[in-house]
Amino acid sequence: MTAASTAGSALTPEDRALLRGDVYAWFVTLDDDGSPAASILWVDADETHVLVNTAEGRRKERNASRDPRVTVAVQRDPYNWLSIEGVVDERVTGPDAESHIDALSRRYDGEPWTPVAGQVRVLFKIRPVRIVRYE
């Protein structure tokens, strides 16, 4: 088992399978002063982007909206993990973000998402810039 780094690479089918599995992700954003801020959340992927869903006003949302450089890392076990440095290509709100959080809730909790009055969901589409894999 070795770590392999690929600059500017695309997500592989194995990457997408891991990101779409029952793993949690560390989502790292940058605070105003440049220091990292990490949180754990649900994660997903489409064919080209890592997908992260949060709510407007949360620290990670404010940070990623201000500075689109982020890192997402997932781990299946100590010998199978993925770290993706990327850039937020798109910030999506409205029905698409709400539909996405509902799908994540059903996948992770087995229950539909319950909307919160006044909450605006935000879906970040993250383009990988550098991927480090350990498999």
What is the model's pTM? 0.93
Number of folded domains that form the chain: 1
Calculated CA dihedral for residues 10, 133, 7, 61, nearest 10 degrees: 70
Domain that holds residue 128: 3-111+120-134
Taking CA 133 as the corner, what is the angle to CA 128 and CA 134, rounded to the nearest 5 degrees?
165
CA nearest neighbour of 49 among 102, 98, 87, 5:
87
- For residue 73, pLDDT over 60 is answered with yes
Chain mean pLDDT for the chain: 94
- Quick one: pLDDT at residue 3? 62
Six-digit token string for 15 = 């990457």
The backbone region for 27, taken as left when phi is positive above 0, alpha when psi lies in -120 to 50, beta otherwise, is beta
pLDDT at 101: 98
Query: Does the pLDDT of residue 48 top 70, yes or no?
Result: yes
Residue 2 scores a pLDDT above 70: no
| CATH for 61 | 2.30.110.10
Sign of CA dihedral 112, 113, 116, 117: negative
For strands 69-77 and 25-30, give the pairing. Answer: antiparallel
